[in-house]
Amino acid sequence: MFDNLTDRLNAAFKKLKGHGKLTEKNIQEGLKEVRMALLEADVHYRVVKKFIGDIKERALGQEVMASLTPGQQIVKIVNEELTELMGGHLTDLNLAGSFPSSIMLVGLQGSGKTTTAGKLAVWLSKNGRKPYLVPADVYRPAAIDQLQKLGQQLAVPVFPSSAEMDPVQICKDARTKAHKEGLDTLLLDTAGRLHIDETLMDELGRIKDALKPSDILLVADAMTGQDAVNIAQAFNDALDIGGVILTKMDGDARGGAAISIKSITSKPIKFIGVGEKLSDLEPFHPERMSSRILGMGDVLTMIEKAQAVVDDKKAAELEKKLRKSEFTLEDFRDQMVQIRKMGSFSDLIGMIPGMSTNKHLKNLEVDEKEFTRIEAIINSMTPRERRQHALIKGSRRKRIAKGSGTRVQDVNKLIKNYTQILNMIKKINKGGMRGIGRGMLPF
């Protein structure tokens, strides 16, 4: 089975080679593959049906029929239309309205509302706002404690709710208090509830009426299946939401729920949650999401991450050194530190197209500790050793191993890997990329 839509379509069209021109029937076959890919990504059945109907005309048009690479053409069309469907560009939080403004977070149990409230508080603080966390979940045991702890960690004030209070009253009192204390943005963390629980849905309506929030955000789990349409529809019908936050995007879910939710509510996805740290909240990029749903990786995010950590001046220096084949163990360490700043290795691999589905890489357990070990070894060398690795013979290796708390074998392995890289650099400088065979990369 193919995980990636491009591979799939190419395989489907390969069968047709030698049959002369593509026919309408061939294209239909291709669309079937698109349909499968979307359904496997958890896009709702009816949403897929409508989408395929909508793109059929374009797929049957000249651009595909006349193309030498019909598979890629169809992927391009699907990608463009999906991006369009999810909303062409970024949409910000709505913070307009009277002082203080309120943002209301709603959703099912376990979708990640409380953690998201903490993350939004960080985001708002960074953007010059003064957030006020308001725990309005009086049902789940210790939900209020959870938000209070998050507030402490972040040094963001939290309204002192208690489980005996009424959620609507909590929100009203919090607004009065925020007004008094000059806090400009309330983050209302409501209890998780089922969209079919009328009593609790009604409670949300009363909070909305009382506070008139400037934004109401549905917090939804990126792993949600076909039920996403029912959930989104019910919350939107009850509250006329302003947008969606998609959580748990750091896993391996394709996130087809994003399309289902968008197409059923026409409301934009504003943020995505991408990790357990409270800074792990990112604006939503429709075109990246589209690539992800189709299993095509997320190169843009990776490039962005790389740009954020790479120091231009250092990069230029390194380039110069590389040209002269003067890549020392010190440079090796610096490079490693920079790569690690981009995030965990497994996350990075997941962003490279095709890599996430690569059988060998899927099982590749990148031990992040290995990097710490390498760093420790290099740190235990003298500056001179780092610049001239040839100096490092037996007794020095023993000393370095002892100093870094590793074994001599570890030191040997590192030096072997490093010399391989060095040889590779020399080869590139001599004859370009030729001569670099598979398996020569040290990692």
Rounded Cα–Cα distance for residues 193 and 239 (Å): 14
Number of Cβ atoms within 10 Å of the Cβ of 369: 8
Q: Which residues bind other proteins (CB under 8 A)?
A: 1, 36, 39-42, 44-46, 108-112, 139-143, 145-150, 153, 163, 191, 193-197, 199-200, 221, 223-231, 233-234, 248, 250-254, 256-257, 276, 344, 346, 350, 365-368
In whole angstroms, how close is the CB of 14 to other proteins at the nearest point? Answer: 21
In whole angstroms, how close is the CB of 372 to other proteins at the nearest point? Answer: 12
In whole angstroms, how close is the CB of 345 to other proteins at the nearest point? Answer: 9
Between 120 and 392, CB nearer to other proteins? 120
Between 86 and 191, CB nearer to other proteins? 191
In whole angstroms, how close is the CB of 125 to other proteins at the nearest point? Answer: 18
Instruction: Copy the structure tokens of residue 187.
Output: 């983050």
Between 94 and 148, CB nearer to other proteins? 148
Cβ contact 70:41 at 8 Å = no
In whole angstroms, how close is the CB of 38 to other proteins at the nearest point? Answer: 9
Rounded Cα–Cα distance for residues 81 and 88 (Å): 10
Rounded Cα–Cα distance for residues 392 and 382 (Å): 10
What SS3 state is found at 5? Answer: helix
Between 305 and 399, CB nearer to other proteins? 305
Instruction: Copy the structure tokens of residue 322.
Output: 């590389």
In whole angstroms, how close is the CB of 355 to other proteins at the nearest point? Answer: 13
Strand partners, 220: 246
Cβ contact 137:192 at 8 Å = yes
In whole angstroms, how close is the CB of 40 to other proteins at the nearest point? Answer: 6
In whole angstroms, how close is the CB of 100 to other proteins at the nearest point? Answer: 25
Between 24 and 237, CB nearer to other proteins? 237
Rounded Cα–Cα distance for residues 185 and 174 (Å): 11
Cβ contact 42:258 at 8 Å = no
Between 100 and 112, CB nearer to other proteins? 112
Cβ contact 110:219 at 8 Å = no
Between 44 and 397, CB nearer to other proteins? 44
Strand partners, 104: 188, 216
Cβ contact 181:69 at 8 Å = no
Rounded Cα–Cα distance for residues 394 and 373 (Å): 19
E strand or H helix at 153, and its extent? helix 143-154
Between 41 and 381, CB nearer to other proteins? 41
What SS3 state is found at 182? Answer: coil
